[in-house]
Chain A
Amino acid sequence: MPRGRPQWRWLLAGAFVVAAALIGAAQVRSAVPASFQELEESLTCQCGCGLTVGSCNHLQCDSAMPLRAEIRGQMETGKDKDAILTYFSGKYGEKILSSPTASGFNILAWVTPFVLLGLGGVFLGVTMMRWTVRRRVAPEPTAPQPRAPSPYDKILEKDLKNFDG
């Protein structure tokens, strides 16, 4: 870092990246479901439709219907949302969850886009700052040198004279 460059810029940049990561983490927290409908949306139907249990387009689906009943059953036991999702994940494997969990390797899924975006923002901000600084120190342009007379000069002069007239 060049001497004399204010430290606050880098602190600000760091804070920006951390904020971006926190936004990513906030998405994880808000992903935790609280109701039957949210639980349906947090589980993937296993019939191959590729949709969530709540959205499965097969009304008599062999997978979605039993899963819905199982969600209700789990809710009746009084478990909280995390415990219910842990139950499904344990029984069917992690692939039943419609979003990656907020732990271990999977946290990368949530945080990486925001961290990279934050880094991109810092890079952009710093680059724009450098451009601005470069412009400030750039020497003033010298006065234009007189150029050789062009054949169009006369025509232009004539047109302007006519225009004025």
Chain B
Amino acid sequence: MPELGKLALAIALLLAIYSIVANIYGARRNAPDFVASARHAIWAMCAMVTIAVVTLWTALMRSDFSLEYVAAYSSTTLPTVYKITSLWGGQQGSLLFWTWLLSIFTSIAAFQNRRRNPEIAPYALAVMAAVAIFFLGMLNFVTRPFDLLATIPREGSDLNPLLQNYWMAIHPPSLYTGYVSSTVPFAFGAAALITGKLDDAWIRTTRRWAIFSWFFLTLGNMFGARWAYEVLGWGGYWAWDPVENAAFMPWLVMTAYLHSVMIQERKDMLKVWNLALIGLAFGLTLFGTFITRSGVISSVHSFTQSGLGPYFLTFLIVVTLSYTALLIFRSKDLRSPAEFESYLSREAAFLFNNLVLVGIAFAVFWGTIFPVLSEAVRGVKITVGPPFFNKVNAPLGLVLLFLTGVGPVIAWRRASAKNLRRSFLVPTGLGLVGGVILFVIGYRHYYAVVSFSLCIFVVATIVAEFYRGIRARQAMVGENPLTALTHLISKNRRRYGGYIIHIGIVMMFLAITGTSAFKEEKQITLKPGESFQMGGYTLRYDGVTSSETPHVAYLRASVAVLDGGRQIDTMLPEKRFYKKPEQPTTEVAIRSTLGADLYLVLGSYDEPTKMATIQAYVNPLISFLWWGGIVLALGTGVTIWPTRVRAPAPAYAPGAREVAE
């Protein structure tokens, strides 16, 4: 079986090389047969990589320890679900998974463009194949997933216990999907530069891909945050670790891109900027992979750290230089007659939104690499940790939140005094009143007060937009409010989906503000029967029970939650002791309500005295982070959903047809 995987990867590499040659030859010589042949090669490459993936999965399921990878990241006692997820638990497997996703997305793009974009699609597919060649080259020559061991061990080393969590089953695939799918808009952007077809065809072709990539980057970050919250047991969800930063930066740049392309689509401006942004987003995905695998910057969760850093760095440099050279080469052709009327306009708001988003991305990048810079310049190791990122990004985040309220509502071209009054008078008033009320009732955390006020402002602007839209439909068509709302959204999915996404973002800001400003924590050692107060509850420690499976031993504390003397819940924080490798982990207990989470960690247990040390946290508003993610997903679904447009029925063509957008 391993030979099948090796063979499949070797053939996939050859097919990727062939597809580049055939695509470019076919496009240059105007030979559709070659372009079609290249497309078939891409589909065959995808089939070959799929065979390699299935081969490795089969080996993992069978615990075939003759394979070095299976022996290193699996065991006979590992639950089946984690045997499946161990495909991306180690270096070679995660690269294979990455390549698989890339081959799937390239195949879909090839299918979508089999009759569209004949001028740029072959070059875009060639760029995607070139990226695939890099990864397939690594899998064939540098970090091979099907290498065999000289001596077959009786048992595997097992998957890192921190990765044996259900969020890890969905967090890496989501993030990888976001990372890899950004290749499609990047490749079409590069193809536009190569061919000189610099209108917005490449943007329109890849608009859904860009949203798709952004959506999965969002999900990946959210799932990662949830994993950190449940598994790492420190009461938080984001620690500004370099690997987290590596996933956050492309998200920020992609967010900026999704806003700025609207200006190009509408006003044919910002061509260079949009091409630069998509190049930057793709470059940052490679940078993230470089960070994860190089060990240049120390990280708590570089699970796939290895000596691949130089390869990724070289690839990153080659991609960056080539793309920049193309941008410079085409810079004259990219100039467009810019039309701008006023700073008080949606264009200006979107441009400042771009500035702040890219500014935050730079601040995160700067903080991430500064330790390396310090060591290189001064020879002194320093740490750039959460306090730095929080302090630098908090003011920028608030500006961004403000622009989230302004951007979608302010008029294009020039906002009149009437437009400003109509759109912002009531929301501004509500935000200010909210802030004053918070201050009066005793909130003295100024960032939090400003943040909550801005949240009120943004929600008010969006609700007002929905209200105005519904009223307009009621007046024009006479619909009831619910029908009017449904039609309002379905007639303009992009706009109203965007509003829903912004509501999700506001919910996340609420959670970030609540947990940053008002988090409570307490560490206490108790005997069975003893209690302590936390977050308005009485928590009574009732003792510890233990259990064991061949894979893991459990130590589970029982903590009764009492409200006004009445027991309302029992929380069971755990310590787990994995047997291969011998490693303790924390399994927290969370009692979640909309207002706050009660979060318990079992720290230690002393058998002779039966005393346990419990770490307790109250995380206000954190549930809004997860609900915000769901709302955001809903909004993205609305935005990305294909709109069926009823084509006008001209007199000379009887019978109207419905066509997809």
**Residues of A participating in the B interface, judged by any CB pair closer than 8 Å:** 23-24, 27, 30-31, 41-42, 44, 48-52, 55-57, 59-60, 93-100, 105-106, 108-110, 112-114, 116-117, 120-121, 124-125, 128, 131-132, 134-135, 155, 158-159, 162
Chain B residue with Cβ nearest A163? B651
Chain B contacts of A48 at CB under 8 A?
A: 300
Known contacts A50-B300, A51-B239; can you find 10 more A-B pairs with CB under 8 A?
A24-B392, A27-B392, A42-B387, A106-B374, A108-B370, A109-B384, A110-B392, A117-B359, A132-B340, A155-B651
B391 lies within 8 A of A159 (CB): no
Q: Please, how many angstroms separate the alpha-carbon atoms of A116 and B360 in the complex?
A: 11
Q: Nearest-CB distance from B6 to chain A (Å)?
A: 37
A23 lies within 8 A of B385 (CB): no
Interface string of B362-388 (1 = CB under 8 A from A): 110011001000100110111111111
Chain A contacts of B338 at CB under 8 A?
A: 131, 134-135
Chain A contacts of B652 at CB under 8 A?
A: 155
Q: Please, how many angstroms separate the alpha-carbon atoms of A150 and B123 in the complex?
A: 36
B362 lies within 8 A of A113 (CB): yes
29 contacts between A and B (CB under 8 A): A44-B385, A49-B234, A50-B239, A50-B241, A50-B298, A50-B299, A51-B300, A52-B387, A59-B523, A59-B615, A94-B380, A95-B383, A98-B388, A99-B385, A100-B382, A105-B378, A109-B366, A112-B366, A113-B359, A117-B355, A117-B359, A117-B362, A121-B355, A125-B343, A128-B351, A132-B340, A132-B342, A134-B338, A135-B341
Q: Please, how many angstroms separate the alpha-carbon atoms of A27 and B392 in the complex?
A: 7
Q: In the complex, how many residue pairs between chain A and chain B have their CB atoms under 8 Å apart?
A: 137
Q: Please, how many angstroms separate the alpha-carbon atoms of A135 and B337 in the complex?
A: 9
Dominant secondary structure at the B interface: mixed
Chain B contacts of A60 at CB under 8 A?
A: 603-604, 613
CB-contacts of B578-619 with A (<8 A): 586, 601, 603-604, 613, 615
A116 lies within 8 A of B388 (CB): no
A59 lies within 8 A of B604 (CB): yes
A98 lies within 8 A of B359 (CB): no
Q: Please, how many angstroms separate the alpha-carbon atoms of A162 and B300 in the complex?
A: 72
B586 lies within 8 A of A57 (CB): yes
Q: Please, how many angstroms separate the alpha-carbon atoms of A108 and B358 in the complex?
A: 18
Q: Please, how many angstroms separate the alpha-carbon atoms of A125 and B381 in the complex?
A: 38
Chain B contacts of A112 at CB under 8 A?
A: 366
Q: Nearest-CB distance from A33 to chain B (Å)?
A: 9
B355 lies within 8 A of A155 (CB): no
Partner of B388, one of A57, A95, A105, A109: A109
Partner of A135, one of B339, B383, B613: B339
Q: Nearest-CB distance from B411 to chain A (Å)?
A: 16
B298 lies within 8 A of A98 (CB): no
A105 lies within 8 A of B340 (CB): no
Q: Nearest-CB distance from B280 to chain A (Å)?
A: 14
Chain A contacts of B236 at CB under 8 A?
A: 55
Chain B residue with Cβ nearest A42? B387
Chain A contacts of B298 at CB under 8 A?
A: 50
Q: Nearest-CB distance from B334 to chain A (Å)?
A: 15
Interface string of B159-200 (1 = CB under 8 A from A): 000000000000000000000000000000000000000000
Chain B residue with Cβ nearest A68? B523
B651 lies within 8 A of A158 (CB): yes
Chain B contacts of A41 at CB under 8 A?
A: 386-387
Chain A contacts of B395 at CB under 8 A?
A: 23, 27
A59 lies within 8 A of B385 (CB): no
Chain B contacts of A57 at CB under 8 A?
A: 232-234, 586, 601
Interface string of B137-161 (1 = CB under 8 A from A): 0000000000000000000000000
CB-contacts of B388-402 with A (<8 A): 388, 391-392, 395-396
Asked if B554 is at the interface (CB within 8 A of a chain A CB), the reply is no
Decide yes or no: A105 and B387 within 8 Å by CB, A113-B366, A113-B392, A135-B341 being known contacts: no
Chain A residue with Cβ nearest B615? A59
B396 lies within 8 A of A117 (CB): yes
Q: Please, how many angstroms separate the alpha-carbon atoms of A105 and B363 in the complex?
A: 16
B339 lies within 8 A of A100 (CB): no
Partner of A131, one of B340, B386, B601: B340
Q: Nearest-CB distance from B651 to chain A (Å)?
A: 5
Name which of B338, B385, B603 has the most chain A CB atoms within 10 A of its CB.
B385
Q: Please, how many angstroms separate the alpha-carbon atoms of A134 and B651 in the complex?
A: 45
Q: Please, how many angstroms separate the alpha-carbon atoms of A57 and B586 in the complex?
A: 9
Partner of A155, one of B235, B396, B650: B650
Lowest 7 CB-CB distances: which A-B pairs, in order? A59-B603, A98-B385, A131-B340, A113-B363, A50-B300, A57-B234, A117-B359
Name which of B235, B299, B374 has the most chain A CB atoms within 10 A of its CB.
B374
B392 lies within 8 A of A59 (CB): no
Asked if B539 is at the interface (CB within 8 A of a chain A CB), the reply is no
Q: Nearest-CB distance from B413 to chain A (Å)?
A: 10
Asked if B352 is at the interface (CB within 8 A of a chain A CB), the reply is yes
B341 lies within 8 A of A132 (CB): yes
CB-contacts of B317-342 with A (<8 A): 338-342
Chain A contacts of B233 at CB under 8 A?
A: 57
Decide yes or no: A52 and B362 within 8 Å by CB, A94-B380, A121-B355 being known contacts: no
Q: Nearest-CB distance from A130 to chain B (Å)?
A: 8
Q: Nearest-CB distance from A117 to chain B (Å)?
A: 4
Asked if B348 is at the interface (CB within 8 A of a chain A CB), the reply is yes
Q: Please, how many angstroms separate the alpha-carbon atoms of A120 and B359 in the complex?
A: 8
Chain A contacts of B613 at CB under 8 A?
A: 59-60
Q: Nearest-CB distance from B161 to chain A (Å)?
A: 14
Q: Please, how many angstroms separate the alpha-carbon atoms of A60 and B60 in the complex?
A: 36
Chain A contacts of B358 at CB under 8 A?
A: 120
Decide yes or no: A97 and B351 within 8 Å by CB, A50-B239, A109-B366, A128-B340 being known contacts: no
Q: Nearest-CB distance from B239 to chain A (Å)?
A: 6
Chain B contacts of A99 at CB under 8 A?
A: 383-385, 387-388, 391
Q: Please, how many angstroms separate the alpha-carbon atoms of A134 and B341 in the complex?
A: 10
Chain A contacts of B363 at CB under 8 A?
A: 113
Interface string of B403-421 (1 = CB under 8 A from A): 0000000000000000000
Chain B contacts of A114 at CB under 8 A?
A: 392
Q: Nearest-CB distance from B410 to chain A (Å)?
A: 15
Decide yes or no: A31 and B385 within 8 Å by CB, A59-B523, A112-B366, A132-B342 being known contacts: no
Q: Please, how many angstroms separate the alpha-carbon atoms of A115 and B352 in the complex?
A: 15
A128 lies within 8 A of B343 (CB): yes
Q: Please, how many angstroms separate the alpha-carbon atoms of A48 and B604 in the complex?
A: 19
B341 lies within 8 A of A98 (CB): no
Q: Nearest-CB distance from A27 to chain B (Å)?
A: 4
Q: Nearest-CB distance from B510 to chain A (Å)?
A: 22
Chain B residue with Cβ nearest A123? B355
A124 lies within 8 A of B355 (CB): yes
Decide yes or no: A98 and B362 within 8 Å by CB, A55-B236, A110-B392, A135-B340 being known contacts: no
Chain A contacts of B359 at CB under 8 A?
A: 113, 116-117, 120
Chain A contacts of B650 at CB under 8 A?
A: 155, 159
Chain B contacts of A158 at CB under 8 A?
A: 651
Q: Nearest-CB distance from A105 to chain B (Å)?
A: 6
Chain A residue with Cβ nearest B382? A94
